[in-house]
Structure 1
Amino acid sequence: MVSEFRKKKLLFLHRFFDKDASGAVEKKDFEQAAVNISNSRGWKQGDAKYKETFDTLLKVWSDLESVADADKDGAVTVDEWIAMWDAFAQNPSSAHAWQSQYCKFIFQLQDATSDGAIDSEEFSSVCVSFGGSKDQAVTAFQKMSKGKSTISWAEFQELWREFFAAEDPSAPGNFIFGTSTF
């Protein structure tokens, strides 16, 4: 059973993707996310990064739908979302390909300089572009980096797993999305 704390984290992420607030995540939500990300980065339709972002998120959606959409209605409900991420938390080493791909996508999105590490400025700029508070993002980065100036890809993967599995509200992985207000 998923604890109330983990459920709040998972609902936060579900609401992030549910762009039209329909109560379910659908393909059109991923398409809108791709547009929003591209716009926030200044990528125009036809740019290589725009296409890469769009293609990656649609691939993530396709794989997510095949795994999580239990009733095959083209939408991932809250219950389906929670069940899927709970299965991940039970055995993170057997993550579905899309979950690993999504983790890498988020890391690369935050690593704006493509130097293999995320720093506070990169992290907070992404959080702000999605409507978050810069101060809250900087605080979140300090907590998840444990005071270090950067987070490597290997560290980010561990933080990612921790976000979905941790029961401890102060666990560093709880801050990877720039907030801890679940």
Structure 2
Amino acid sequence: MVSEYRKKKYLDIFGYYDTDNNGKIEKKDFETTAAMLAKSPDGKIDEAKHKEYLNTLLAIWSGLQQADTNKDGHVSAEEWVAQWDAYAKNPASPYEWQKIYCKFSFDILDAGNDGSIDSDEFVKAYEAWGFKKEDAAKTFGKLSQGKSSLSWTEYQKLWQEYFTTEDTNAVGNLLFSSPSP
């Protein structure tokens, strides 16, 4: 049974994908997310990025269909939590959609496409998602342990830690949240 601590983290991520706040994740939520991520600061959609993001997010959605245990065409919060709980019990064998999701989240942050995330890339992305610049910079400093960048390998470890740990002080918990004041 999933702990309340991990369940809360899983539901935080669920909330990011439930773009219309109707309590379920549907294909249209992934389409909305792709459009949101492809918007430039001036509000225009970069068509090339939109196509790329949409293709990746629809691949995640396709794989996530296995979570829809009652086959009603959407993924409920309970079904979402069950998928991540299964992952936490065996992180060495993630579902394919979870691998794609991890890589996608890294690639979104690696704006320079150089195989690492630097502080500027991280802060810019997190600011766009509503974080304060100072909080984003503080979070990056903790995640990178003071280094100037995060590699793909380091990011995967943090990502895995976020979804598996019960340790409230684990640094991976900061990956999708703001640091405490």
Q: Which TM class, normalised by the smaller chain length? A: over 0.9
**Does 2:34 match 1:34?**
yes
For 1:97-116, what aligned pairs fall within 5 Å after superposition? 97-116=96-115
Aligned-CA RMSD value: 1.6
Amino acid in the other structure paired with 1:24: K
Deviation at 1:178, TM superposition (A): 4.1
> Aligned pair count?
179
**Retained in 2: the 8 A contact 1:174–1:180?**
no
**Retained in 1: the 8 A contact 2:11–2:77?**
yes
Percent sequence identity over aligned pairs:
48
Distance verdict in 2 for CA 1:26–1:136, change over 3 Å: same
Deviation at 1:44, TM superposition (A): 3.2
2:61 paired residue number: 61
**Aligned partner of residue 158 in structure 1, secondary structure:** helix
**Aligned partner of residue 117 in structure 2, secondary structure:** strand
| Alpha-carbon separation, structure 2, partners of 1:4 and 1:40 | 37
**Does 2:18 match 1:18?**
yes
* Stretches of 4+ aligned residues off by more than 3 angstroms: 40-45
Give me the TM-score of the superposition, normalised by structure 2.
Answer: 0.93
What's the CA shift string for 1:62-102, capped at 9, x where partnerless? Answer: 1112x211111111111111111000011011111111011
Task: Give 5+ residue unaligned stretches, structure 2.
Answer: none
**Does 2:136 match 1:131?**
no
Deviation at 1:40, TM superposition (A): 4.1
Amino acid in the other structure paired with 1:98: W
**Aligned partner of residue 19 in structure 1, secondary structure:** coil
Amino acid in the other structure paired with 2:103: K
What's the CA shift string for 1:11-48, capped at 9, x where partnerless? Answer: 11001110000011111111000000001477736x32
**Retained in 2: the 8 A contact 1:112–1:122?**
yes
Distance verdict in 2 for CA 1:71–1:130, change over 3 Å: same
| Alpha-carbon separation, structure 1, partners of 2:179 and 2:8 | 10
| Alpha-carbon separation, structure 1, partners of 2:22 and 2:137 | 31
**Retained in 2: the 8 A contact 1:88–1:95?**
yes
